[in-house]
Structure 1
Amino acid sequence: MSNANNTQKVAEFTAPGVDNQAAQDTIALLDNRLVALIDLQLTLKHIHWNVVGPNFIGVHEMLDPQVDAVREMTDTIAERIATMGGVPVGTPKSIVDRRTWDEYSIGKGLVTEHLGALNKVYDGINSDHRKAIDKLSELDPVSEDMLTGQLAELEQFQWFVRAHIESSSGELKS
Structure 2
Amino acid sequence: MKASPTLASNMQAVLVDLIELHVQGKQAHWNIVGTNFRDLHLQLDEIIEAARGFADEMAERMRALHALPDGRSSTVSKTTALAEFPTGLINTKDAIDKIVAALEAAVGTMRKVHDEVDEQDPTTADLLHAFIAKFEQYAWMVNAETMRASASVTTAEPKK
Partner of residue 122, structure 1: 103
Q: What RMSD, in angstroms, separates the aligned Cα atoms of the two structures?
A: 1.7
Measure how far apart 1:99 and its partner are. Answer: 2.5
Q: Deviations over 1:81-102 (max 9, x none)?
A: 1111111111212212323453
Structure 2, gaps ≥5 residues long: 154-160
Unaligned runs of 5+ in 1: 1-14
* 1:82 matches 2:70: no
Residue-by-residue CA offset, 1:108-141 (whole Å, 9 max, x unaligned): 1111011012111222111221112122121211
Q: Give the distance between the partners of 1:106 and 1:166, measured in 2 at CA.
A: 25
Q: Residue in 2 aligned with 1:147? A: 128
Runs of 4+ more than 6 Å apart: none
TM-score, length of structure 2 as denominator length: 0.88
Q: Secondary structure at the match of 2:144?
A: helix
Q: Is residue 166 of structure 1 aligned with residue 139 of structure 2? A: no
Partner of 1:107: 88
TM normalised by structure 1 equals 0.81
Alpha-carbon shift at residue 52 of structure 1 (Å): 0.5
State the Cα distance separating 1:71 from its structure 2 match: 0.5
Q: Which amino acid aligns with 2:144?
A: A
**Following the alignment from structure 1 to structure 2, what is the Cα–Cα distance between the partners of residues 62 and 98?**
26
Q: Which amino acid aligns with 1:30?
A: M
Structure 2 residue aligned with 1:39: 20
Q: How many residues align?
A: 153
Three-state SS of the structure 2 residue aligned to 1:164 is coil
2:81–2:106: 8 Å Cα contact kept in structure 1?
no
1:61 matched to 2:37:
no
The percent of aligned pairs where both chains have the same amino acid is: 27
- Is 2:72 aligned against 1:95? no
Give the SS at the match of 2:145: helix
